[in-house]
Amino acid sequence: MDNCIRHFTGYLTVERGLSLNTVSAYAGDLTALEDFLKNTGISHWRGVDREDLLDFLDFLRDRGMESSSIARHLTAAKMFYRYLTAEKLVDADPTALMDSPRLWRILPDCLSVAEVDALLGAYVSGGDALEQRNRVILHLLYASGLRVSELTDLKVGSVDFETALLRVRGKGSKERVVPVAGNVLQMLRRYIAGAREELISLIPQTPYLFVSHRSRRLNRERVWAVIKEAAFRAGIAKNIHPHTLRHSFASHLLANGADLRAIQEMLGHADIGTTEIYTHVDRGRLAAVHQKFHPRG
């Protein structure tokens, strides 16, 4: 990966004529991105998607980085991927849909438990097949902390109703098992027997768990739209992204005493350092513990 950064900085110096200070800043930003990606198990720039970049930006914010500096990191990534695309070193540019005059505003917020409840109630149980599908998607994302790409890759056979586990294929095609709450498991059972049967009428042989009204596997953009619509219905003003529910899943587990290693395993993080970004959220509980147990609290 680092050879690409070196070639890119040479391009900026020779062909773009940027100053050494500017080139050095971009190189530092990209090296930080490279280190983060390697810790999540990604070894080539071709394997990076938009979710990975959002995870990285969120990682920077959770470590106290200023918004302007986060925006600069994203600018460096965008320039870098334009270069990689032009040189045909990657197949697609994951930053292409991340255009905004205030780039850091795409970063997702963690939801409170009350906000999660409102979001999960955005699609009612008595709606049509699409509403039923959307309701299950929201509940499953929060219940199991899935990446949106993992959710869209789920097949009917991924759900083990006997053990209440999901078999999930994550980064680097690594498979892991994730628990599913009993109420969500029941929702899945009803969805598979009812709404999904209606949705797969055009392609009844499809193995995918979540499909469109045309019976095709649901794509990530559509899941994003489902979550945005749910946030609008629930009256949530925060910037919602599929990662928001994953972030909230981990943060709420941690707040209720879950072991960080267990959260790491459920999220599929290769390095616990990545999981530790969630420890910042529970500052209120830490303050309460300090006040209760410290001699001069």
The more confidently predicted of residues 251 and 45 is: 45
Ranges 92-101, 200-209, 260-269: which has the least confidence = 92-101
252 is catalytic: no
Residue 161 has pLDDT above 90, yes or no: yes
Looking at residues 256-275, what average pLDDT do you find? 74
Residue 291 in any domain: the answer is no
Tell which wins on pLDDT, 73 or 263. Answer: 73
pLDDT in tens, 224-263: 889 889 999 999 988 777 678 888 888 888 778 787 778 7
278 in catalytic set: yes
Q: Does residue 38 have a pLDDT over 60?
A: yes
Q: Quick one: 197 and 77 in the same domain?
A: no
Q: What is the pLDDT of residue 79?
A: 92
Are 201 and 87 found together in one domain? no
Which of 83, 106, 129 terminates a domain? The answer is 106
238 and 129 in a single domain? The answer is yes
Tokens representing 79 are 């320039």
* 203 is a domain residue: yes
Q: Which pLDDT score, from 0 to 100, does residue 147 have?
A: 84
List 171, 196, 241, 247, catalytic entry: 171
Q: Which residues of 166-191 are buried (b: 16+ CB within 10 A; e: fewer)?
A: bebbbbeeeeeebbbeeebbebbeeb
For the residues 83-112, what does the mean pLDDT come to? 72
Q: Is the pTM of this model over 0.85?
A: no
Query: HEC string of the chain?
Result: CHHHHHHHHHHHHHCCCCCHHHHHHHHHHHHHHHHHHHHCCCCCHHHCCHHHHHHHHHHHHHCCCCHHHHHHHHHHHHHHHHHHHHCCCCCCCCCCCCCCCCHHHHCCCCCCHHHHHHHHCCCCCCCCHHHHHHHHHHHHHHHHCCCHHHHHHCEHHHEECCCCEEEEECHHHCEEEEECCHHHHHHHHHHHHCHHHHHCCCCCCCCECCECCCCCECCHHHHHHHHHHHHHHHCCCCCCCHHHHHHHHHHHHHHCCCCHHHHHHHHCCCCHHHHHHHHHHHHHHHHHHHHHHCCCC
Confidence of residue 92 (pLDDT cuts 50, 70, 90): confident
Give yes or no: 26 in active site. Answer: no
> Would residue 208 show up in a list of annotated catalytic residues for this protein?
no
294 inside domain? no
CA angle, 60 then 62 then 65, to 5° = 50
> Cα–Cα distances in Å, from 99 out to 25, 103, 174, 217?
21, 7, 31, 26
Does a structural domain hold residue 292? no
pLDDT band at 97 (very low <50, low <70, confident <90, very high): low
In this structure, the answer to whether residues 144 and 230 fall within a common structural domain is yes
Active site residue 38: no
Catalytic site residue 213?
no
Average pLDDT over residues 270-291: 59
Q: Which of 147, 241, 247, 252 is catalytic?
A: 147
Catalytic residue among 50, 139, 241, 246: 246
Same domain, 62 and 167: no
Catalytic residue among 133, 139, 241, 243: 243
Count of structural domains within the chain = 2
pLDDT band, residue 270 (cuts 50/70/90): low
Q: Kindly report the average pLDDT of the chain as a whole number.
A: 83
**Are 131 and 26 in the same domain?**
no
Query: Each residue of 113-151: pLDDT tens digit?
Result: 899 999 999 998 888 999 999 999 999 999 888 888 889
Full domain range(s) for residue 41? 2-106
pLDDT band at 106 (very low <50, low <70, confident <90, very high): very low
